[in-house]
Structure 1
Amino acid sequence: MKLTNETLKDKTFWAERGYRLPSFDRDDMIRKTCNKPTWIHFGAGNLFKAFQADACQRILDMGLGDKGIIAADRKEKKPEENDNLTVKITLKADGTTEKAVIGSIAEKVYLYGSEDRLKEIFEAPSLQMVSFTITEKGYAIKDPKGNLLPDIEADLKRMPDSTETYMGRMTSLLFARYIKNAAPLAMVSMDNCSHNGDKLKAAILCFAEAFGDKGFINWLSAKVSFPWSMIDKITPGPDASIAKLLSDDGLDKDTPFVNAEEREYLVIEDDFPNGRPCLEKAGIYFTDRDTVDKVERMKVCTCLNPLHTTLAVFGCLLGYDRISDEMKDADLRKLVENVGYKEGLPVVTDPGIISPKEFINTVINERIPNPFMPDTPYRIATDTSQKLSIRFGETVKAYMKSDTLKVSDLKFIPLVYAGWLRYLMAVDDEGNAFTPSPDPLLETSQAQLSGMKLGDEPDSEKLKKFLRNETVFGVDLVEAGLSDMIIRYFGEMTKGIGAVRHVIGAM
């Protein structure tokens, strides 16, 4: 069976196989959306189809809206043969799945190839929201040294009619709206990066200022919003086992599908000058900017990311291939519980709209152990030197500032710091060499342990000098009073084969 508008009419086929179908008049939705668009999304990949498109579909199913989404990709890879329909498979922690057909995408356009249609969409007064999931790199305009990227520098000279970069074209489209009617608009980054709205705004303003039209710049400042958002949902690449499931259901081998975990969080600053869909009815949170920031800090500094990094570092040392399998290891499970519940929650940033305790409960009991999630310690350990300062350093700082807690009470976060030092040796707990994950400071960090072998005594002075690096660790760990404990843990984990397991098992 091919997935098309026509085959959706065979209700019996889909019902017998347990698929949730769109219950709204899809032809009517497509007509209304294309005539008076309200929402266009750039970066229409797996996350978008599994999350935002499904949320829009729920609104349509409830009769709370009659417009869908226009989805925009960079370039057309192959002709659309499925009427913009996608199968969504929800991967539940108990090993079961839920199946749905997502039909809220009314039209698909392309950044390179649909220029005229994109201009029409941006000029429509009805357009309320332009959203993005294009990764943090999509907003980059400067290199790490603060210099304009070459393609950006060249594109700035082409404003506004001949731009070629992503942000250049966005600015050109906004300029077309300004010239046509200057109607207000919300530009909403939904990418998983801190203060994402500011990154998008900075990129747009860079182009607008180079163009030099003061009226346009004033309109961007007064009538165009750039809300912050926080998104959290694991959407792995299409899995072969899910492709087989669809095949067993009798679907065509080329049926487009996404597979994703059940839990999802999207918190958006409620700043929409031209109105917005009532997505709060589909579980999306709308709040103020400060609360968005607090939700992100809750997740990144306490309730999810530190646990992932803990499992990544020790998973590499203990030879695990999947993060989910580590949660079957009693020692590792106890370790992440202590990092999260015992040391993190006492100083967690509580956003008020989501309970930190409930959030971490789902992370430890549902999300990380989910057997469908293919995340590996190797992948999660990527760029660890860039993550330690936020994922653990903020908690250490909170203990240092507290009137009731003592830094010396921390035992498990120092163990993670020590575990990363042990990881830098690139030798696992069985004494076998392994390749550490990519990291911009890998070589520099490994140099702090140069010549160190299992069985050697740590060079305390050299390590203390490294542990003073606030850029890596978030705080001066010597000044914080944690360096001696970290070096002691590290020394115990380098005594020989099996020492890492012995140390975490004794905690």
Structure 2
Amino acid sequence: MMSAITLTDRLSLATLAPAAERPGVSGPAVNPRALSTGMVHFGVGAFHRAHQAVYTEDAAAASGDTRWGILGVTGRSAKVAEQLGPQDGLYSVLTKARDATSLRVMGSLRKVAFPGVDSEEVLRTLAAETVHLASLTITEKGYPRTPQGSLDLASPAVAADVVALKAELSGGGFAGAARTPLGLLARGLARRHATSGAPFAVVCCDNLMSNGSVTRGLVLALAEAAGAGQMLEWLDTAVTFPSTMVDRIVPATTEANRREAEGMLGLRDEALVVAEPFGQWIIEDNFKVPRPAWDRAGAVVTADVGVFEVAKLRMLNATHSLLAYLGALRGYRTIAEAVSAEGLAEEARRLQRNDIIPTLTAPPRTDLADYGESILERFANPNLGHTTIQVAMDGSQKLPVRILGTVIDRLAAGEVPQSGALLVAAWMVFVYRGRDVNGRPLVLDDPVADMLRAAAAGSEAGLADRLLAVREIFPAELADHPEFRAAVAEAVRQLLSEVP
């Protein structure tokens, strides 16, 4: 018989048993108490909790291997640690299909650390021989790079982490809280090298082209800046950086979502995440250490991630951005509203079919036109509530990865990508106007927002030229192409007339 609980109780190990018996509720797939920590994850936000943590728990359940509990590491805020600490690391995933909702309690995240106070614990964990890998979802802006892609040594945060890494290498003891995720990772790897020297794997799961190579290059650059000679040799021979491609729509959790989950679970879950039913994970088979049986949980482990990666970033993420900027400007709150609005789905199809697909090699057993339609169908799920503003954030970081490669490839083929120009123009008008067609404000959430506002300031007539001149975003080969410039300027002119 179920024991009585009140709706004010929080999800935790103590309250889990009766909650798991409620209709529509499942999980955890493994006993959280039986899991030992075998991996560290940097960026323990909603996406990780709805994606890699789910695959990892399913892998443990499928294989019976309980070595893969996760130590999650927050970003600059302690918020997630404060949410999950009282819940013993437990949280739930509210899966929203078009016609059904389910709730699954997750137990793979065994502890959450905030670098501001827990950096030493993270370093010890990374060095432990029972821990074999680290993974990352720190978003595009979490990788401290110059416009040319090298480590941004001029960044005060990076400079501070280089000093701390030098202290770690010298054996001088704990050098204080880390300033960047990669700085903390590099210090942990230095400690591992100095103690056991056991092999390791770093698995990047962010939307970056060749994300494993990018991460490796930045970690090596940190080590070089700190003068880590012997550690560099070890990194080269014992540490691998598999590339990955990840896909699952994870909108921001709302208070309405929390109330719905509370009604299903009978408990309050402050760390709830919301997701669509679809999920995909492609992982490069590049490990010298044990790893979770992710392939038994539905992930694809392959020698070549690149063809999947390029198709997803260009097809799904670029389409997402087009709908976000055009939809936001036209007053649509969610991506589902935007893709259902007159003309916007057709704009998305033109982008995919005219500009993107001609630049791609199809992944195995994939029809790219059908893949494009499946993307639009996923975006149209009205139960997700994925907002245009959420997708529109960090445009300066996303545009180069999502669309500018496609533009460069089409220009090299002698074609002017008109839909690609429209996407770039929609972002420019979003930055410039700061409001939608109804006069409601549009928040510019971008790490270089001040620079963008300054570059955009001025007359409407010169807007395209001023923003194309921002070399941190637009390479000269693209920005100086006369026909592309003209296409962007015309699209900007048209959009400005729609959003007076």
Report the TM-score range of the alignment, normalised by the length of the smaller protein.
0.7 to 0.9
Residue 40 of structure 1 is matched in structure 2 by 40
Structure 2: how far apart are the matches of 1:486 and 1:112?
44
Where relative contact order (Cα < 8 A, 6+ residues apart) is larger, the structure is 2
Match among 251, 258, 261 for residue 246 of structure 1: 261
CA change 1:39–1:327 in 2 (3 A) is same
Residue 286 of structure 1 is matched in structure 2 by 301
What is the SS of the residue equivalent to 1:158?
A: helix
What is the SS of the residue equivalent to 1:38?
A: strand
Give the partner amino acid of 1:394: G
Residue 188 of structure 2 is matched in structure 1 by 173
Which is worse superposed, 144-153 or 277-286? 144-153
Give the partner amino acid of 2:91: T
Residue 147 of structure 1 is matched in structure 2 by 154
Structure 2: how far apart are the matches of 1:172 and 1:417?
39
Residue 22 of structure 1 is matched in structure 2 by 28
What is the SS of the residue equivalent to 1:134?
A: coil
Contact kept, 8 Å, 1:123 with 1:176, in 2: the verdict is yes
Structure 1: how far apart are the matches of 2:410 and 2:320?
21
Residue 503 of structure 1 is matched in structure 2 by none
Structure 2: how far apart are the matches of 1:313 and 1:480?
24
In structure 1, the gaps of 5 or more residues are 453-457, 501-507
What is the SS of the residue equivalent to 1:305?
A: helix
Structure 2: how far apart are the matches of 1:108 and 1:226?
23
Contact kept, 8 Å, 1:64 with 1:278, in 2: the verdict is no
1:89 deviation in Å? 0.8
1:71 deviation in Å? 1.6
Residue 168 of structure 2 is matched in structure 1 by 159
Contact kept, 8 Å, 1:159 with 1:168, in 2: the verdict is no
Match among 453, 472, 475 for residue 474 of structure 2: 472
Residue 201 of structure 1 is matched in structure 2 by 216
Structure 1: how far apart are the matches of 2:492 and 2:123?
59
Residue 297 of structure 1 is matched in structure 2 by 310
1:68 deviation in Å? 3.0
Structure 2: how far apart are the matches of 1:88 and 1:155?
37
Residue 71 of structure 2 is matched in structure 1 by 71
1:215 deviation in Å? 2.9
1:184 deviation in Å? 0.9
Structure 1: how far apart are the matches of 2:428 and 2:191?
53
1:364 deviation in Å? 0.5
Give the partner amino acid of 1:90: T
Residue 426 of structure 1 is matched in structure 2 by 433
Residue 446 of structure 1 is matched in structure 2 by 456
CA change 1:217–1:91 in 2 (3 A) is same
Structure 1: how far apart are the matches of 2:86 and 2:425?
53
Structure 2: how far apart are the matches of 1:421 and 1:115?
39
Counterparts in 2 of 1:365-444, with a 5 A limit? Answer: 365-366=377-378, 368-382=379-393, 384=395, 387-388=398-399, 390-402=401-413, 407=415, 410-417=417-424, 419=426, 426=433, 432=439, 437=444, 438=446, 439=449, 442-443=452-453
Contact kept, 8 Å, 2:216 with 2:241, in 1: the verdict is yes
Residue 331 of structure 1 is matched in structure 2 by 343
Give the share of equivalent positions with the same residue, in percent: 22
Contact kept, 8 Å, 1:393 with 1:475, in 2: the verdict is no
CA offset digits 1:4-48 (Å, max 9, x no partner): 4454444xx634421122354544x33xx2xxx432323333222
Structure 2: how far apart are the matches of 1:42 and 1:95?
34
CA change 1:287–1:441 in 2 (3 A) is farther
Structure 2: how far apart are the matches of 1:41 and 1:466?
36
Structure 1: how far apart are the matches of 2:120 and 2:214?
27
Match among 91, 94, 101 for residue 97 of structure 1: 101
CA change 1:407–1:465 in 2 (3 A) is farther
Residue 333 of structure 2 is matched in structure 1 by 321
Structure 2: how far apart are the matches of 1:267 and 1:350?
15
RMSD value, Cα: 3.8
CA change 1:413–1:9 in 2 (3 A) is closer
Give the partner amino acid of 2:254: D
Give the partner amino acid of 2:279: E
In structure 2, the gaps of 5 or more residues are none
Structure 2: how far apart are the matches of 1:65 and 1:241?
36
Structure 2: how far apart are the matches of 1:279 and 1:44?
19
CA change 1:332–1:252 in 2 (3 A) is same
Counterparts in 2 of 1:3-18, with a 5 A limit? Answer: 3-10=11-18, 14-18=20-24
Contact kept, 8 Å, 2:63 with 2:293, in 1: the verdict is no
TM-score (norm 2): 0.79
Residue 505 of structure 1 is matched in structure 2 by none
Contact kept, 8 Å, 1:89 with 1:98, in 2: the verdict is yes
Structure 2: how far apart are the matches of 1:429 and 1:412?
21
What is the SS of the residue equivalent to 1:22?
A: coil
TM-score (norm 1): 0.78
Give the partner amino acid of 1:442: L
In the alignment of these two chains, the number of paired residues is: 472
> Larger Cα Rg: Structure 1 or Structure 2?
1
Give the partner amino acid of 2:310: R
1:199 deviation in Å? 4.2
Contact kept, 8 Å, 1:69 with 1:106, in 2: the verdict is yes
